[in-house]
Structures are given as structure tokens and as C-alpha cells.
Amino acid sequence: MQIRTALFRVYWALEKVIAPRLRYAQYLYEEVLGSHVDDRTQWLDLGCGHNILPPWRAQQEEQLVDKCARVVGIDADLPSLRKHLTIKRRIAGSIGQLPFRDGSFSLVTANMVVEHLEAPAAQFAEIARVLRPGGIFLIHTPNRRGYSTRAAMLIPAPLKRKLINLLESRTEGDVFETFYRANTKEEIESLAAPAGFDVRKIRLIVSSAELAVLPPLVPFELVLIRLLMTERLKSYRTHILAVLQKKNAKTIR
């Protein structure tokens, strides 16, 4: 643990010099999420796993949940649900067949979940079904055109699991199959309308370096990230933040 902490200190020092405006994508997601939460919010978190935000944001996670009228988490992985401490109402289930009535929620979130959707057209429609008219579907997911996702798609699954454990300290039981079928700006836009959504905003963003625990490689990755922060290379940024809004009945034809 001490070695890992020391490596991150080296990384943070390099980041301040090479990409001083860089912000971790999860912090950006948290800010957008916070802007859609209040005491009337009926919130469903898809693929809630064992936390909503990174573990070191546990206090902020509790504050977000406490602010809402109701929060429900759903995940297909029962061991992850059992570890979850913040959301009290947790259900084991599938995004393809959500066990809720029409219009049950005002907010649905998917934090690093959409990349795991095998049939996104049907699953987006199911998400729209459980949202109220005017409700928000907030997505944070990798951009398939980003360098880290391209690399992940090329690496064999056994090696990928080992790399994830090294880079992110995630165990093999916390790594799930990915399809990347709704992971470009254009794909999200094309899926939105047929499912009953309007696109309010789609942002392509960068995040902290993936290779933070490998100091010799960090400067090269940070230089690449800084280049991606330019407008010209915007399409190749590593993450997508999308805000979709369910159409009102009047606007659906």
C-alpha cells in the first residue's frame, strides 16, 4: 500500500506539470449527478455494484443518497450487491427486464455500465419505460474511440483481468464482459430517439492516466491526454458523459 501511495504521489506531481487542467472523469460525473439530485428525486442506479462513486468518495456518496426521496440500486452480480453499504433498496436483476412499473423514477444513472450492454436498443427502451416523462438518464461510459478502450478491446481476456488488477486494484470477480455497442457519441444519439429520449448534452472528456502506477510510462500518457484536451482531437477522448431526457407524451409521435 505504501509503494502504491508513493507511486501516486509521483503521478500527481507529473500531472500538475504536464496536464495541470486534467480532472478525473469520476469527479466530473459526480458534479453532473449532483446537479440532478434533490429531495424529490426518485433515483435508480443501474449496475450499482458495491458503490456509486469511487471508494474514497464514500461521504459524498452518502450525502447524494440522503438528499433523495428514494434510491434503488440494481445489479446482476449478487456478491457486489451484498457489499454495497450506501443504497438500502438493492435488487438483483437485469437491465433488459427491469422489475419496476412504468414511470417509477425521475433519474436513472449508469456509471461505467453502458459498455456492458449486449442489446442497447432494447435496454435503452426499457430504461425509458421506467422513467417518468421529462426524467433524466445520465450516462458515464468509455468512448470506444479512446486509446484505453481500443487497447482493452485488443487484449485477451485473461491478460486484461491481470492488467486491471495491477492498474486499478480490481479483483477478477469485479471484472465483467464488455461489448461497447453504445460507446460513441453517434451511437448514443442514434439509440436515444427510438427509445424515447431527447439528447440534452453529450460531452467527450478525458480522465487521469491509466498507467499511474507505472512511472516510466506516465509522462508519455499524460502528453497524449493533453493532446486529447485540444478541440482537434476531441473525438478521441477517453470517456463520454451523456444526459438524455425522456420525451414528454406530447412530443412522442
Question: Regarding predicted confidence, which is higher, 142 or 176?
Answer: 142
What pLDDT, on a 0 to 100 scale, did the predictor assign at position 253? 39
What pLDDT, on a 0 to 100 scale, did the predictor assign at position 147? 95
The residue behind cell 478491446 is 153
Average pLDDT over residues 145-174: 72
What pLDDT, on a 0 to 100 scale, did the predictor assign at position 222? 97
pTM over 0.95: no
For residue 117, tell me if it sits in a domain: yes
What's the grid cell of residue 220?
A: 508519455
Is 80 exceeded by the pLDDT of residue 156?
no
Question: Regarding predicted confidence, which is higher, 4 or 113?
Answer: 113
Q: For the domain that residue 88 is a member of, what is the CATH number?
A: 3.40.50.150
What pLDDT, on a 0 to 100 scale, did the predictor assign at position 206? 98
What's the grid cell of residue 51?
A: 458503490
What pLDDT, on a 0 to 100 scale, did the predictor assign at position 229? 97
Domain that residue 129 falls in: 2-247
Strand 131-142 and strand 239-246: the pairing is antiparallel
- Please state, rounded to an integer, the average pLDDT across all residues of the chain: 92
For residue 118, tell me if it sits in a domain: yes
For residue 34, tell me if it sits in a domain: yes
Q: How far is CA 144 from CA 85, 203, 239, in A?
A: 31, 14, 8
Q: How confident is the model at residue 164 (pLDDT cuts 50, 70, 90)?
A: low
Question: Residues 6 or more apart from 194 whose CB is under 8 A from it?
Answer: 121, 124, 125
Q: How many domains does the chain have?
A: 1
For residue 91, tell me if it sits in a domain: yes
- Tens-digit pLDDT profile for residues 47-78: 999 999 999 999 999 999 999 999 999 999 99
* C-alpha closest to that of 8 among 164, 166, 163, 214: 214
For residue 252, tell me if it sits in a domain: no
For residue 253, tell me if it sits in a domain: no
